[in-house]
Amino acid sequence: MSAPKILVIPGSLRSKSYNIRLAAVATKELTLAEADVTRISLADYPLPVYDADLAANSGPPANAVKLKQLVAAHRGIFIASPEYNASMTPLLKNTIDWISVVREPGEVQLAVFQNRAFAIGGASPGRSGALNSLLTLRQVLSIGCRAFVVPEQVAIPNAEQAFDDRDELVDARAAGQLKTVLKKLVDYARMFGG
């Protein structure tokens, strides 16, 4: 059986982001689970603020097309989502909005979100562990984009103490939750991959 292709996306650009660290841990775990993993930084795909007029007049930006193609090339996507003001980051929402309007001729709306699995996790300095962000992200993906989102998720509180100096999760419970979420993602990605 071939290794499922999994895309890992941290929803932050901040150099010391806890969610970039979470994405790094997820990448290691997915590699150990024998997935074919691609981790990206959204810093490499800058996008303007979503504007329907811009999309209608000029078409989607080249980076939106590249991101859509990356999503389409993978059967599983893990998103590490920070929490800003009890929601997902504007960066992540803007990225999803742009990807959602990129279409090939004859392609149905939101087709890129179908036939693949999304899994979500987040780390936050607060006690909720980015839980509000995950609720918002789940709603955007499952309702707005009609994507399948793995029911399990991982929310890591007190993120400033959550990682050791090797960027591993300190708390065994959080590490176990992440492994469960990623195992489910790999299983669903295999299923969607045929």
The arithmetic mean of pLDDT across residues 56-61, rounded, is 93
Q: How far apart are CA 47 and CA 61, in angstroms?
A: 7
- The mean pLDDT value for 55-77 works out to 96
Ordered by start, the domain boundaries in the chain are 5-192
pLDDT value at 162 more than 70: yes
pLDDT number for residue 1: 65
pLDDT of residue 130: 94
Amino acid at 141: L
pLDDT at 192 over 70: yes
Of residues 115, 117, 123, 158, the one with CA closest to residue 138: 117
pTM: 0.96
Instruction: Please check whether residue 102 is in contact with residue 142, taking contact to mean a CB–CB distance below 8 angstroms.
Output: no
Among residues 68, 8, 9, the alpha carbon closest in space to that of 37 is found at: 8
pLDDT at 172: 92
Q: Which pLDDT value is given to residue 30?
A: 98
The 10 Å Cβ neighbour count of residue 32 is: 11
pLDDT tens figures, 3-17? 999 999 999 999 889
Class of the CATH domain delimited by 5-192: alpha beta
Quote the CA–CA distance of 61 and 72 in Å, as a whole number: 17
How far from each other are the two terminal CA atoms of the chain, in whole angstroms?
Answer: 10
